[in-house]
Amino acid sequence: MFGEPGCQRPPGSRTWRPPRFLSAEVDRAYRAASDAGPGLSEHEAARRLAVHGPNVIAARPPTPWWRRVWWQIRDPLIVVLLAAAALTLATGDLADAAVILLVITVNTTAGYIQEVKAEHAVAALSAMSAPAARVLRGGADRSVAASDVVPGDLILLAEGDIVPADARVVEAVRLLADESSLTGESAPVAKEVGEGSQPPLLAAGTVVVRGRGRAVATATGSDSTLGRIATMVTRAPGPTPLQRRLAAFGRLLAAVTVALCAVVLALGLVRGQPVELMVVAAISLAVAAVPESLPAAVTLSLALGARRMAARHAIVRRLPAVETLGSVTVLASDKTGTLTEGRMLAERLWTPTGRATVTGSGYAPADRLERAGSTVLPEDAPDLVGLLEAAVLCNDAALQPPDQGDSAWRALGDPTEAALLAAAAGLGLDKTVIDRRLPRIQEVPFDRRRKRMTTIHRLPAGGLRVVCKGAPESVLRPDEVLSTDAALCERAVALADEWSAEGYRVLAIASADVPEQDAPRERWESHLSLVGLVGILDPPREASRATLATCREAGITPLLITGDHPLTATAIARRLGIVADADQVTTGERLREGSSGPLTGSRVYARTSPEQKLDIIRAWHAAGHVVAMTGDGVNDGPALRHADIGVAMGRRGTEVARQAADLVLADDNLATVVSAVEEGRRIYANVRRYLLYALTGGTAEILVMLIGPFMGLALPLLPAQILWINLLTHGLPGVALGAEPVEPGVMRRPARPPEQSVMGAGLWPRILAMGVVVTAGTLAVGVWAQQTGRPWQSLVFLVLGATQLGVALGSRSRPRSLANPFLLAAVALALALQVAGILLPPLRSLLGTDPLAWSDLGLGLASVCWGYLAMRVQSRFFRAAPADQRGGLQSW
C-alpha cells in the first residue's frame, strides 16, 4: 500500500481495463453520479436489463451424452476390442464376447462420469459474483440481486463488499480493494478520485477491504473482466500424455495383430488344416494378442491413485490427472498463497540504534524478535518498542484471533498494517491498550499522491503525539518532514533501497511529541524525528524450497508466474532457488513489447495478465513439455484450464480456480504436488508393467502357434484353449498389476521425455525377449511330451498359462514383500482355474484337454518358477544397462 519495492511503481503496472465502456449512456450516468445524481430510475434499469441481459456469466451449452460416449469409444484400443468382440460373437464364443464387452462398458462409463464432473468452471465464475448489491435508484438506497445490476447503475460500496460489476469510481473515502484474485498481487490497491485524473476502476469479483465509495457500473455479465476470463476457461480438457501414448499404441497393435493372425491363418491353410478351424484359431489369437484388460488396469490404477491422493489431501477432479502429473517436466506456480503464505510479515526492523528480525507465521503474534542472535525483550529494546508502538498508533487494521472453525489469525483491513500489529504483539504491544492510552483525535489519510498517512494522538500528560508512516521516498525528506540530521537520513535511504532491491515493501515511520498549541494541521507532518524502517514481505512457505528442490531432482523445471512486482517476484524466486540471476526474469510489459526473447527463456514472469499466463503455458507446451500450473486466483483460471494439469489451492483458492483445475490441494501445501507426481509415475510404471506382462503372453501365444507346426506340433493349441489362457492371464492378474506400489527412488529419476512412446525406453525388446523365453519353455515341454507319448497339447496348454502367471509374479515392484496382496490372490486363483481345466471333466470337455499324470501336472506347475526367474533376471539386467539404452529411465 505504502510503496512498492524500489519505491517506484511502473506506470499502469497494476492496472487492468474493462473490455469496453458499453455505451454513451454509461458516460452520461458517470457524469450524473459525479454530480451526486440520484442514479437510474427503476424503469431505465429494467430497460437496460432487457438490452444487456442479466449480470451473469453465460454458460456454454451442455455436451450431449451421446457425444461424450462417442469420445470414449473412439479410442483405438477400444475399437480393437470392439472388433474382437464382433469376431467372437460371429464364431459363437459368447463367453469371451461378454467379457470383452463388459470391459468396454466399465471403461466407457468411468470416463463418462469423470467428464461430467469436470464441467463446472463457468458456473463457478458466475458464483464469484456478489449475490446482492447496493445501488442508488431514483435517489433511494436499494438492495438488488447482483444479476440485476446494469451498466450505468450507481453502486454503493462498503468494507467487505464484493464488487458486482466492472465499474468506475466516482467517490472514494479511503477506499481500498483487494485485487489479488485478479492480478495476483498481494497488496490491496487504493482507489482515489482526484481532480483531472483518470477515474480509478474496479473489477467484478474483487473485494473492498477498507473504506467506502460509489461507482458507476461499466460492464456486466460476459462483458465484465470475469466474463473475459470465462471465455478463456471454457476449453474442454485435451487428452493426457498417457491417453495420447495409448492411442498411438492401440493403432500400432491393431495393425500388427491383424498381420500376424493373417500369417497364422495362411500357414494353417497351407498345412491342410480345416478352413473353419484356422479361422477360429486366427480370431482367438487376435483376441489373445489384444490386452483387453488394459483399460480396466489403467482405470483401477488411476482410481487407486486418486484414493491415495485423497488421503494426502489432494482431490482429483479428473481421473487421468494423476497420471499426467507423472509426466510433468515443467511446474509453473503462482506466487501469492502458493509459494508464499499469502500473508504479509514485518520481517525486518531498523532504528538508529540497530537492526532486528522478526520470525512468525501469518498474522499470529510474532514468535520472537531477534537482535544479534538473541531474543529481544521489551525492557532491553526501548527503540524497537518505540518503533512498533508508533506503527500500532498509525494503523487502521485489526487482528482477529482463531475461532472454532479456523486455526489461523485473520487480518481485518490492510494486510500491510496487520503485519505491523503482529510484529508489535511479539513485544507484548496490544493495539486496544495503546489506543486507549493514546487516543486518536485527528488524522490525514493515506493517498497515492502523498504516499503517507499521519495520525494525531493525545498524550496522557497533555500535548500531542504525531505519527507518520509511508513510503521511504515520501517520509525521508529532511527539508519537508524530518528534523533528523542528513547523515542519518542518508543511512535510512540507502537501507530502504537495499531492502527494496531484495523485494521488501519498505515503510518509514517518523514521530514527534508537541505541545497542543504548537500543532496546527498544516504543520503536523513537519519537524518529525525518524523512528525507524520496517521491511515487509509475503514470506515463502516453509515447505516450498524443499518441494522445489525435489522437483528439480526429479527433472522438473520450476517457473514462477505472478502479477506481483518484478523485484518482489525475484526476491522470492531467489529464496526458493528458482533463479540465480536477473537474466531469467521478465515482465508482462516486456512480453507485450516483444523484448523479452523466447517465452521459454525465462524462469520468473512478473506483472503478468491472465492472457499472458495463458501464452506462457502454451509456449512451454509447444516446446514439447508437459506443464503443470498451480494457482488460487480468478486470474489463474485460464492457465489452470489450459495446462496439461491444473492444480488449485483448496483453502485459500477461489472457486474459479478450484473448478478450472484437475487437482485441488485441500491443505494448500505445494509438497502435495510432489506426492502427486510420485503417484503419477507409479501409475505410468504400472501401465508399462502391465503391457510388458500382457504383450509377453500374447507374443508367446502367437509364436507358439507359428513355430509349433515346424517342430512337429501340428496345432499347438485349440481356439478354446487360447481364449481360456487369455481370459485367466489377462483378467484378474493383469488388472491387479495396476495396484503395484511405487518403486523406491522414483523421484530421484529424471522426468521421462514427453515425446517418448508408452512402449519406449526398451519395452519392445523386453517384450520380445520375454515372449521368446516363454515360447521356448512351452515348446520344449510340448516336444518332449510328444516324443514320450504324453498328452502334449494339454501340457502345452498348462505350461503356457502357468509360465505367464510366473511372469506376473516376477513383474512386481517389490517381489520379496507382501505388498499388493490382490495380485498374489489373483495369480493363485488363475492358476487354480488353469489346473481345473485339466482336472475337471466339464472343463476338459469344453477346452478339449486330456487328463495328466500327477508328475506331469507338477511339471506344468513348476513352470511358474521358470516364468518368475526369467522375469527377475531380465529386470535386473535392465536396471544395470546404461542410461542411454534405457531412454533415460532406470526402471519402468
**Residues identified as active-site:** 334
- Residue whose cell numbers read 485485487: 179
- Residue 151's nearest CA partner among 132, 138, 164 is 164
Neighbours of 275 (CB within 10 A): 10
Instruction: Write out the three cell numbers for 254.
Output: 491393431
**Which ranges constitute the DSSP H helices of 788-853?**
792-810, 821-839, 841-847
Paired residues of 374 in beta bridges: 371
Q: Are strands 604-606 and 585-587 parallel, antiparallel or unpaired?
A: parallel
Report the C-alpha gap between 230 and 432 in whole angstroms.
44
Q: Are 501 and 6 in contact, with CB atoms under 8 Å apart?
A: yes
Q: Are 548 and 361 in contact, with CB atoms under 8 Å apart?
A: no
Q: Which residue pairs from 453-459 have beta carbons closer than 8 angstroms and sit at least 24 positions apart in sequence?
A: 453/2, 453/394, 454/394, 454/524, 454/525, 455/393, 455/394, 456/519, 456/524, 457/393, 459/513
- Residue 730's nearest CA partner among 805, 836, 676 is 805
DSSP letter, residue 368:
E
- Integer Rg of the chain from CA: 35
Q: Give 3-state DSSP helix, strand, coil % of the chain, rounded to 5.
A: 50, 15, 30
Dihedral over Cα of 667, 668, 669, 672: its sign: positive
Report the C-alpha gap between 809 and 359 in whole angstroms.
54
By CB neighbour count within 10 A (0-12 exposed, 13-18 middle, 19+ buried), where does 195 fall?
exposed
Q: Are 471 and 3 in contact, with CB atoms under 8 Å apart?
A: yes
Report the C-alpha gap between 161 and 179 in whole angstroms.
13
Report the C-alpha gap between 596 and 598 in whole angstroms.
7
3-state SS string for 786-800: HHCCCCHHHHHHHHH
Which residues touch 152 (CB under 8 Å, ≥6 apart)? 25, 26, 28, 29, 40, 44, 48, 216, 217
Q: Are 304 and 737 in contact, with CB atoms under 8 Å apart?
A: no
Q: Which helix (H) or strand (E) holds 622?
A: helix 610-622
Q: Are 191 and 178 in contact, with CB atoms under 8 Å apart?
A: no
DSSP character string of 380-446: G-HHHHHHHHHHHHS---EEE---TT--S-EEES-HHHHHHHHHHHTTT--HHHHHHHS-EEEEE--
Neighbours of 834 (CB within 10 A): 24
- Residues 478-494 as b or e (16 or more Cβ within 10 Å = b): eeebbebeeeebeebbe
- Residues 869-881 as b or e (16 or more Cβ within 10 Å = b): ebbbebbeebeee
By CB neighbour count within 10 A (0-12 exposed, 13-18 middle, 19+ buried), where does 331 fall?
buried
Neighbours of 91 (CB within 10 A): 17
Instruction: Write out the three cell numbers for 637.
Output: 483460471
Report the C-alpha gap between 723 and 732 in whole angstroms.
15
For 671-803, strand residue ranges (E) read none
Neighbours of 819 (CB within 10 A): 16
Dihedral over Cα of 801, 802, 807, 812: its sign: positive
Q: Are 235 and 642 in contact, with CB atoms under 8 Å apart?
A: yes
Report the C-alpha gap between 577 and 337 in whole angstroms.
18
